Each structure stands twice: as C-alpha cells, then as structure tokens.
C-alpha cells in the first residue's frame, strides 16, 4: 500500500513540476514575442523645451500609429521571425521648428531602414541602418 501511495505522489509531483516548467517557458516566450497590441516609447530623453518623445502604437494586425518629435505617420509592421519591415505613409503637416522637423525625418528614415528586431522584457530593439530601443508602456 505504501509503495502505491509513493508512486502516486511521485507521479503527481512530476506532473506539477512539468506544469510549472511549461508556465515558465510560456512566460519567457511571451516576454520575447513581438509586442503587437502595445504602445512603445523611444528610449530617449525629450528634446529641449518639449515633453514629447517618439512612440509607436501597434495594433494586433501590425497597423501602427507613429508619433514623431513633431508630426505623426501611419504605418504597417510586417514581422516574420526576427525580421521586420516597416512601411509608412505620409507625415502630417504640422508647423515644426527646423530641428524637430529634421529629427522627425531622422527617426522616420531609421524606422524604414529597420530589418530585424529582438525583445528582452519590456525593451524592443529594432536594428537596421541604426539601432533603436523602445520601451513597452505598461500603464
């Protein structure tokens, strides 16, 4: 009788351990998945005299609202494995100081030059002609 109880206890303990490992693996996979359905902020300080920082708001289908230093643009994120292509439309036509207009162009050029991505926790790193780090917003 004692042996059968011990065997059941071991089997139950093994199942619980496997379930816990499976949950941990799923959490790590989710932590490294592309953050569709998220808002991300470029990991930089605001420009002097402004609180605005470029951001990406990406829906579940990859449609993106890209807010730059001054203007905004709609885009589409196409993700396959660790490869990414960012397609953009026309920028809004807000009146901007020359340095912000140039910064908008620089960020947009870097985004359209992105070829790969990786995610570690709440940081999404986009690489290509330039490396950009975005922080997933959790609020």
Question: Which pLDDT band, with edges at 50, 70 and 90, does 22 fall under?
Answer: very low
Q: What is the mean pLDDT of the chain?
A: 85
Q: What is the 3-state secondary structure (H, E, C) of 83-106?
A: EEEEEECCCCCCCCCHHHHHHHHH
User: Could you say which DSSP state residue 74 is in?
Assistant: E
3-state helix, strand, coil split of the chain in percent (to 5) is 35, 35, 35
* Cα→Cα distances 91→67, 68, 111, 116, Å: 10, 9, 13, 23
Residue bearing the bigger pLDDT, 121 or 27 = 121
Q: Worst-scoring range by mean pLDDT, 13-27, 53-67, 100-114, 120-134?
A: 13-27
pLDDT band at 138 (very low <50, low <70, confident <90, very high): confident
Position 45 pLDDT exceeds 60: yes
Q: Which residue has the tokens 């230093």?
A: 69
Instruction: Measure the CA angle with vertex 29, ends 40 and 134; round to 5°.
Output: 15
């Amino acid at each position: 009788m004692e042996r059968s109880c011990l065997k059941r206890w071991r089997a139950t303990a093994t199942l619980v351990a496997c379930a816990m490992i499976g949950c941990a693996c799923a959490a790590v996979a989710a932590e490294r998945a592309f953050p569709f359905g998220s808002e991300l902020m470029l990991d930089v300080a605001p420009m002097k005299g402004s609180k605005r920082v470029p951001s990406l708001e990406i829906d579940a289908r990859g449609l993106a609202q890209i807010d730059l230093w001054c203007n905004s643009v709609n885009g589409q994120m196409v993700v396959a494995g660790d490869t990414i292509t960012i397609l953009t439309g026309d920028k809004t036509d807000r009146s901007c100081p020359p340095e912000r207009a140039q910064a908008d162009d620089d960020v947009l050029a870097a985004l359209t030059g992105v070829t790969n991505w990786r995610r570690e926790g709440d940081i999404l790193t986009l690489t290509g002609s330039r490396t950009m780090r975005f922080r997933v917003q959790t609020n």
